[in-house]
DNA sequence: ATAGGCACTGACAACGCTGTCTGTCATCGG
DNA sequence: CCGATGACAGACAGCGTTGTCAGTGCCTAT
């Protein structure tokens, strides 16, 4: 039993060559093919032979080399590549979790990487994954150029974009209803009497930021309060820029009485900037976040489910792997406004 | 240029065989070895030849097969395996981010998986990663049995355990000062006059839960308030069990006036159970979390840095990969109490 | 003129595994 | 007693790369 072999400062003994099927075969006194049969649970091996082989495997600590196996078999490597913006962001870690979950059910491992909103990095990661011959690719696009993926897609690697669409290829995409979300946010605020509603969004070259801005604009028009350029501040934002912006918005001749935040980070920045200040504008944030309901006032948000997004994208990917070759689909997941208080403050 | 090739419903054209170096060689009119030289930036290729090869690569959308490369070269696969409890938990996603960051600097990809606290799953993941011949393994142990890793460690795969120690192998480990943390929490509460301090921890077979319980106990003794069995409730906990426990603690003849929460999830459950209730016990939570400072009252925590943990473990792993074969090390990272208000409530 | 060196290129084997095909028994029906 | 059958085992090739070694010219120094 391996379990009983002497354990100690293992770091001491360096680089014992890894056992191969050949080593196992020699020790068990069988051919390498028989070892392969045992390892792969193929039928046609005499129980007593199999037992000898298993003993040899255990004794040598053999573990089959998947590189070799994948190379030989040519088909699936049993891996899925996931390129996202930042695993550290709770939203994306929720997505990751969902992807992992489904991949697991389908016997796949997930390789992931964060692009940090850098198109070059996104490309580097995606192509690296392709070199590893992942079975499929899930990408949260950082850039607008995705033609680099065309050879990979042609070679049969399914690609699903999530959260944002691809720049210049036609492919499966799973999005959330960004426009509908901010329309609803503005409508909600207007219904509570607000006429000066500001929008703090991320950098406008980011798809979701731009869509949400469009929704904000449309919401303003629909609510009959008009669209005012001076009430909009697009990012990139950090804590201090958000604070400055809020001050500006509140010290206008006609101050903003309500704010729509373009994503979870901006919402948090706003909350921090507002902490302790008496004069709080009403607030609706895009993206739900943990503890939003426990703040005072509880934060009203446009909620959408990270795991639903991850699940939808992964399901789509596996459908492709299962042979579905219908035209590329675009799935738009609904969002919902969760009123909690911060958006129900009267003007 | 690949970039200009017709793009369309790519899903239509299935399974074009992937180009190999052989295909590239044939197209460029050179030998396969020359292609290999170009792809690997090896010297000794005439610029004009290289150009022809690169053109062929571009035309065919060739991307070298890393399975084959790794098999042939036998050395590094350029991957690191990361087994954690749940990527969805902000603490672990912080760890993941840090690991990824450092791996990236060292030219490695991260393959990760969540064990969900299931030892079998942990083992499955770790061994799967070994089959993929990861260069090293980072593991947040779910179980207490790790001798299954001995053959892998012998074969030269460095393993670093993080957040919790391994069960029965001697290996590098990075922990946080769990005992010191809860000692400090209790000391802090006692200093504010509390004598009935409760502890809500995770399942006691989890190392960190047990350590924190020990720290709690020691803190009580040191503070001279004694250790009372009835003030301790170990998990697993969910929202409703926490609520029930709190009610029990508050309706005792001598009610608990303060609570120490064993981890971030339990803290959140407590906050939710307490929401809106007038009679709030003082609270100190283990693990910092976003927005803790914005709650009312702001939540006092024992903070420790997820990214510091990830970084320390990964640094250690790379040191091993760089040839450091000193005896296994155990690193204990400091924690610090961040007073914010919830722990400063007077009894 | 010739040896030696340099710049460039290619043939070939092997990494560890699995698919295909072939071989060797023992057993069974007629 | 013979051929057919089935259960089991092995030989061999090849997946796509790269390391080793062996050319082939051409140029320079003798």
What is the rounded distance in angstroms from the CA atom of residue A184 to the CA atom of residue B50?
57
Residues 6+ apart with CB under 8 A from B99: B80, B82, B110, B138, B310, B311, B313, B314
Contact A199, A262 (CB under 8 A): yes
Contact B203, B179 (CB under 8 A): no
**Model pLDDT for residues B23-80, shown as the tens digit of each residue:** 999 999 999 999 999 999 998 899 999 999 999 999 999 999 999 999 999 888 999 9
pLDDT-derived band at B346 (thresholds 50, 70, 90) equals: low
- What sign results for the dihedral spanned by CA atoms A174, A178, A179, A181? positive
Compute the 3-state secondary structure of chain B and give helix, strand, coil in percent, each to the nearest 5.
45, 15, 40
Q: How far is residue B124 CA from its own chain's centroid?
A: 17
Residues of A numbered 204-243 whose beta carbons fall under 8 angstroms of chain B's beta carbons: which are they? none
Q: How far is B282 from chain A (nearest CA, A)?
A: 17
Sheet arrangement for strand B336-338: B232-234, B197-201, B258-261, B282-286, B300-303, B336-338
Which residues pair with residue A285 across a beta bridge? A261, A301
Q: How far is B241 from chain A (nearest CA, A)?
A: 19
Residue A10 to residue B86, Cβ atoms within 8 A: no
What is the rounded distance in angstroms from the CA atom of residue B231 to the CA atom of residue B198?
5
pLDDT of residue A99 exceeding 90:
yes
**Model pLDDT for residues B26-37, shown as the tens digit of each residue:** 999 999 999 999
Chain C positions with any atom < 7 A from a protein CB: 7-12, 14-20
Contact A232, A221 (CB under 8 A): no
What is the rounded distance in angstroms from the CA atom of residue B58 to the CA atom of residue B50?
12
Q: What is the dihedral of CA A319, A320, A322, A325, to 10 degrees?
A: 110
Determine contact: A113 vs chain B, CB below 8 A. Answer: yes
Q: What is the pLDDT of residue B203?
A: 94
pLDDT-derived band at B277 (thresholds 50, 70, 90) equals: confident
Question: Per the structure block, which two tokens stand in for B337?
Answer: 């109490």
Determine contact: B168 vs chain A, CB below 8 A. Answer: yes
What is the rounded distance in angstroms from the CA atom of residue A159 to the CA atom of residue A316?
9
Of B130, B148, B154, the CB nearest to A13: B154
What does the pLDDT average to over A211-221? Answer: 97
What does the pLDDT average to over A169-195? Answer: 96
Sole residue written with tokens 């670093």: B160
Residues 6+ apart with CB under 8 A from A131: B63, B64, B65, B66
Q: What is the pLDDT of residue A346?
A: 67
pLDDT of residue A6 exceeding 50:
no
Sole residue written with tokens 């979870």: A264
Q: What is the pTM of this model?
A: 0.89
What does the pLDDT average to over B166-190? Answer: 96
Determine contact: A325 vs chain B, CB below 8 A. Answer: yes
Give ∠ CA A177-A168-A208 in degrees, rounded to 5: 25
What does the pLDDT average to over B269-282? Answer: 88
CA B125 to each of CA A18, B67, B114: distance values in angstroms, whole numbers, following the listed order: 19, 20, 8
Contact A162, A171 (CB under 8 A): no
What does the pLDDT average to over A320-329? Answer: 94
Residue-by-residue DSSP string for B68-84: HHHHHH-S--SEEEEEE
pLDDT of residue B8 exceeding 70:
no
pLDDT of residue A3 exceeding 70:
no
| Mean pLDDT score of chain B | 92
Contact A317, A80 (CB under 8 A): yes
C1’ D16 / CA B279, Å: 70
Sole residue written with tokens 């299962």: A322
Rg (CA), chain A: 27
| Mean pLDDT score of chain A | 92
**In this structure, is the CB of residue B40 within 7 Å of any atom belonging to strand C?**
no
C1’ D25 / CA B19, Å: 32
Contact B286, B301 (CB under 8 A): yes
pLDDT of residue B22 exceeding 70:
yes
Q: Where are the alpha helices (DSSP H) in chain B?
A: 21-28, 32-39, 47-60, 66-73, 90-105, 119-131, 150-154, 178-191, 207-222, 239-250, 264-274, 306-321
**In this structure, is the CB of residue B31 within 7 Å of any atom belonging to strand D?**
no
Which residues pair with residue A178 across a beta bridge? none
Q: What is the pLDDT of residue A280?
A: 87
Q: What is the pLDDT of residue A343?
A: 82
Query: What is the SS3 assignment for B231?
Result: helix
Strand pairing class (A282-286; A300-303):
parallel
| Nucleotide nearest the Cα atom of A28 (by C1') | D9
CA A209 to each of CA A82, A237, B223: distance values in angstroms, whole numbers, following the listed order: 22, 12, 53
C1’ C11 / CA B20, Å: 18
Sole residue written with tokens 């032979």: A49
**Percent residues over pLDDT 70 in chain B:** 95
Q: What is the pLDDT of residue B254?
A: 92
What does the pLDDT average to over A15-28? Answer: 92
Task: Find the helix or strand (DSSP H, E) in which A222 lies.
Answer: helix A207-222
B90 neighbourhood in chain A, CB within 8 Å: 90, 93, 290
pLDDT of residue B9 exceeding 90:
no
Residue B167: CB atoms within 10 Å: 14
Query: What is the SS3 assignment for A181?
Result: helix
- What sign results for the dihedral spanned by CA atoms A162, A163, A168, A170? positive
Q: What is the pLDDT of residue A4?
A: 34
What does the pLDDT average to over A145-167? Answer: 94
CA A235 to each of CA A190, A210, A263, A273, B141: distance values in angstroms, whole numbers, following the listed order: 24, 11, 11, 16, 41
Contact A161, A84 (CB under 8 A): no
Read off the DSSP letter of residue A243: H
Rg (CA), chain B: 27
Residue B71 to residue A86, Cβ atoms within 8 A: no
**In this structure, is the CB of residue A30 within 7 Å of any atom belonging to strand D?**
yes
């Amino acid at each position: 039993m391996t379990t009983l072999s002497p354990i100690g400062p293992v770091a001491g003994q360096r680089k014992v060559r890894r056992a191969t099927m050949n080593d196992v075969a020699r020790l068990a006194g069988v051919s390498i093919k028989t070892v392969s049969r045992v390892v792969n649970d193929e039928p046609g091996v005499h129980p007593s032979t199999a037992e000898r082989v298993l003993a040899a495997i255990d004794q040598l600590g053999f573990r089959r080399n998947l590189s070799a196996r994948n190379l030989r078999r040519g088909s699936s490597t049993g891996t899925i590549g996931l390129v996202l913006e930042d695993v550290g962001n709770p939203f994306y870690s929720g997505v990751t979790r969902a992807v992992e979950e489904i991949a697991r059910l389908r016997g796949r491992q997930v390789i992931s990487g964060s692009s940090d909103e850098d198109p070059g990095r996104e490309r580097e990661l995606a192509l690296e994954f392709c070199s590893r011959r992942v079975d499929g690719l899930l990408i949260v696009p950082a850039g607008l150029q995705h033609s680099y993926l065309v050879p990979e897609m042609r070679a049969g690697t399914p690609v699903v974009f999530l959260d944002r669409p691809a720049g210049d290829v036609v492919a499966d995409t799973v999005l959330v209803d960004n426009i509908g979300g901010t329309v609803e946010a503005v409508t909600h605020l207007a219904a509570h009497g607000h006429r000066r509603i500001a929008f703090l969004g991320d950098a406008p070259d980011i798809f979701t930021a731009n869509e949400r801005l469009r929704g904000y604009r449309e919401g303003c028009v629909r609510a009959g309060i008009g669209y005012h350029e001076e009430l909009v501040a697009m990012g990139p934002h950090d804590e201090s820029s958000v604070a400055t912006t809020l001050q500006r918005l509140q010290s206008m001749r006609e101050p903003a009485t309500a704010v729509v935040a373009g994503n979870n980070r901006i919402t948090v920045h706003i909350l921090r900037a507002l902490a302790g200040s008496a004069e709080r504008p009403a607030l609706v944030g895009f993206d739900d976040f943990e503890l939003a309901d426990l703040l005072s006032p509880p934060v009203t948000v446009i909620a959408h489910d990270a795991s639903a997004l991850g699940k939808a994208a992964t399901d789509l990917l596996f459908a492709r792997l299962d042979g579905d070759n219908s035209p590329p689909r675009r799935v738009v997941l609904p969002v919902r406004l969760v009123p909690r208080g911060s958006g129900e403050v009267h003007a």
